[in-house]
Amino acid sequence: MPADAVRTNRYNSVGTMYQFSITPMSLVVATWVPEGIVMASDSRQSVAIGGKGPDGKEFKVETVNSDSVTKTFLLQSQQVGVSHFGQDLLGGIPMAGHIKRFSEEKLKESDDVESIVQKLVEFMNGEFGAADTGFHVAGYKKEGRASMPHVYYCHSGKKLIERRNKKADGGISYGSTWSGQADVIGNLLSPVIATSASGQQTILRPSVPIVWDAMPLQDAIDFSVFAIRTTIDTIRFQARPKNVGGAIDVLAITPVSCSWIVHKELRANGAM
């Protein structure tokens, strides 16, 4: 378990000692096409519980702690979206609290997506060192008279910042990036390659291209939801931790607006 993970010892009424830690896993997706940028995330938080019972036997179980965690945020004043994956509970506070404090204490209305991603990594690294927490940060920035899309992948512990939508020649590329529990969608869309003992590679199943440059914004929304929903539905039937789930939040960003396509709200289930 990472050094920054939350771990707490407890004794219950029958003398069983147990420990719990928040499991760092999610699935966040950012898809950018000529009309706009889509950011999507699941809502699940898992917890690993282990310890010793009254008989001295050790036990360990991983279970769902919540299906209501927010992982995508809109910085309203700057019209920039932020999604996070990895460790969620840092310093005993959920990521939503850290993003709120970051926005209030570190950002100015004049900040743009490029300055925000730099400040976010500095803020998280200064607060939590090598925490295993990553982010997607996306929005538009005026370059001359045009609003240009910026999509970043960053990791606070590694002090890593990568712009994902820029070509080597400086032009804009279109596509999608996903982070966290990415194996299901990655395996679905990637080619199948066999490697011989000598190191020679053979493509057994080529990947079929997606024409991102021609994709409308609605299809980008549908793809982002598809990536997360397919992961949720696949791991449901696999013998593995169910660490992606819950509602799917979807944020759409264009040069002129930011809007929630789907966003869970507070409610009172079962209230009379």
For the stretch 204-226, pLDDT in tens is: 888 899 999 999 999 999 999 99
Give residue-wise pLDDT tens across range 29-86: 999 999 999 999 999 998 877 777 777 788 777 888 899 999 999 999 999 999 999 8
Looking at residue 24, its pLDDT comes to 62
If we measure between CA atoms, which residue out of 231, 232, 267, 260 comes closest to residue 246? 232
For 17-26, 33-42, 184-193, 233-242, which range has the lowest pLDDT when averaged over its residues? 17-26
Give residue-wise pLDDT tens across range 157-190: 888 999 999 999 999 999 999 999 999 999 999 8
Q: How confident is the model at residue 192 (pLDDT cuts 50, 70, 90)?
A: confident
Is the pLDDT assigned to residue 100 strictly greater than 50?
A: yes
- Tell me the CATH number of domain 7-261, given options 3.40.50.1820, 3.60.20.10, 3.40.50.80, 3.10.20.90: 3.60.20.10
Domain boundaries, the chain: 7-261
If we measure between CA atoms, which residue out of 42, 39, 17 comes closest to residue 30? 39
Mean pLDDT, the chain, whole residue set? 89
Segments of the chain assigned E as strands: 7-11, 17-23, 27-33, 36-41, 45-52, 58-66, 72-75, 80-86, 133-143, 146-155, 160-163, 175-180, 192-195, 201-205, 249-253, 258-262
Is the pLDDT assigned to residue 16 strictly greater than 80?
A: no
Q: How far apart are CA 138 and CA 151, in angstroms?
A: 4
> Can you say how many angstroms the Cα of residue 179 is from the centroid of all Cα atoms in its chain?
6
Looking at residue 54, its pLDDT comes to 77
Is the pLDDT assigned to residue 140 strictly greater than 60?
A: yes
Length of the chain: 272
